């Protein structure tokens, strides 16, 4: 598999389950080592966990024993950011994700959507240049999900961050990204890449009714469908 992602772009990786989307993210983050080949970030091979990388997981990754405030503060604490500055940045980001008033709540006291907001604040508070997102909203209900997608775009717009967003939801991919990369059923390789020409800043709700959206959707779905069918057949044969 060979993909380059240009800086400051919002790229969505779509593909059938088990095609190695999540593994790709782990490799870029430096959480896993490749068995062969290299991953480079900003021209340098990845040998460990990068400094400027943020990761949003599909599963809840907040520390259940820390309050919202302490969860958001943790990356700054780990980076040795001075206390007064950390406090103001934490306060700012809790405000920006709309959780003012919940600073002292523990994760179990929050809804799934609110926990995702905390996770978003926890990742953005240390200002990573690259955001890796592994189906971050797939566990949310549809309404919350649309809301979170809109907020993600609003937070990303103009931030200059590169986003690699893994999803199996084509609609989500097109609505959010500048570019959609369709992966094959495996062994992981790139089937096709599409530029999303929808204008920025983008309104998620409006974007879905844009004729360009529908056109791109049917194109990418054609590619994806073959791969999904193949992956399904393979899973059945294996099972």
Partner 1 sequence: MRERTQPVDRRAVAAIQIALVAVFLLVWELGVRVHLIDPFFFSAPSQIGETIASWWQHGYIVGDVVTTMKETVLGLLVGGAIGIALAAILASNRWLSAIFVPFLVLLNSLPRVTLVPLFILWFGFTLWSKMVSAIVLVLFVVFFATYDGIKDVDPTLVANVRVMGANRTAVMRHVLIPSALTWIFSSLRSAVGFALIGAVVAEYFGAQAGVGYRIQFSESQLNTSGVFGGLFILMVLVFFINLFFQWLQRRLLVWKPADS
Taking CB under 8 A as the criterion, the residue among 53, 99, 120, 182 binding partner 1 is: 53
- Candidates 9-17, 48-56, 139-147, 193-201: pick the segment binding partner 1 (CB under 8 A): 48-56
Taking CB under 8 A as the criterion, the residue among 1, 5, 23, 57 binding partner 1 is: 57
208's CB contacts (< 8 A; 6+ apart) are: 171, 175
54 lies in the site for partner 1, by CB under 8 A: yes
64 lies in the site for partner 1, by CB under 8 A: yes
Helix/strand/coil (H, E, C) string of 129-154?
Answer: CEEEEECCCCCCCHHHHHHHHHHHHH
State the DSSP string of 153-179: HHHHTTS--EEEEEES-HHHHHHH-SE
Q: How far is the CB of 123 from partner 1 (least distance, A)?
A: 8
- Candidates 5-13, 46-54, 91-99, 193-201: pick the segment binding partner 1 (CB under 8 A): 46-54
**DSSP label at residue 65:** T
Q: Is the peptide bond before 187 cis (omega within 30 degrees of 0)?
A: yes
Cα separation, 180 vs 86, whole angstroms: 36
Using CB under 8 A as the binding rule, the residues of this chain from 146 to 185 that contact partner 1 are none
23 lies in the site for partner 1, by CB under 8 A: no
121 lies in the site for partner 1, by CB under 8 A: no
Q: How far is the CB of 1 from partner 1 (least distance, A)?
A: 22
Q: How far is the CB of 36 from partner 1 (least distance, A)?
A: 22
State the DSSP string of 195-209: E----SS--HHHHTT
Query: Cα dist. 20→17, 26, 36, 140 in Å?
Result: 8, 10, 14, 22
- Please check whether residue 202 is in contact with residue 153, taking contact to mean a CB–CB distance below 8 angstroms: yes
Q: How far is the CB of 106 from partner 1 (least distance, A)?
A: 4
Taking CB under 8 A as the criterion, the residue among 126, 137, 165, 194 binding partner 1 is: 126
Residue closer to partner 1 (CB basis): 64 or 187: 64
78 lies in the site for partner 1, by CB under 8 A: yes
Taking CB under 8 A as the criterion, the residue among 34, 40, 63, 101 binding partner 1 is: 63
Taking CB under 8 A as the criterion, the residue among 2, 84, 108, 160 binding partner 1 is: 108
82 lies in the site for partner 1, by CB under 8 A: no
- Please check whether residue 193 is in contact with residue 180, taking contact to mean a CB–CB distance below 8 angstroms: yes
Cα separation, 139 vs 101, whole angstroms: 25
Residue ranges in contact with partner 1 by CB under 8 A: 26, 29, 31, 49, 51, 53-55, 57, 59-67, 74-75, 78-79, 106-108, 122-123, 126
């Amino acid at each position: 598999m060979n993909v380059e992602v240009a800086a400051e772009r919002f790229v969505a990786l779509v593909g059938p389950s088990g095609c190695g989307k999540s593994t790709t993210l782990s490799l870029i983050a430096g959480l896993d080592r490749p068995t062969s080949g290299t991953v480079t970030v900003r021209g340098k091979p990845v040998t460990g966990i990068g400094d400027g990388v943020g990761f949003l997981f599909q599963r809840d990754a907040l520390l259940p024993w820390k309050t919202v405030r302490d969860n958001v503060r943790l990356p700054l604490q780990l980076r040795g950011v001075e206390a007064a500055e950390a406090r103001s940045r934490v306060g700012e980001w809790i405000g920006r994700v709309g959780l003012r008033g919940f600073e002292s709540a523990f994760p179990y006291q929050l809804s799934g959507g609110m926990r995702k907001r905390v996770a978003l604040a926890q990742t953005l508070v240390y200002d990573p240049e690259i955001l890796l997102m592994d189906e971050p909203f797939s566990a949310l209900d549809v309404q919350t999900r649309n809301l979170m997608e809109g907020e993600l775009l609003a937070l990303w717009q103009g931030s200059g961050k590169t986003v690699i967003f893994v999803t199996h939801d084509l609609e989500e991919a097109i609505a959010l990204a500048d570019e959609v990369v369709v992966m094959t059923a495996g062994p992981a390789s790139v089937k096709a890449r599409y530029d999303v020409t929808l204008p920025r800043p983008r309104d998620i709700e409006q974007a879905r009714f844009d004729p360009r959206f529908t056109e791109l959707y049917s194109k990418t779905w054609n590619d994806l469908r073959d791969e999904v069918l193949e992956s399904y057949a393979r899973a059945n044969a294996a099972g």
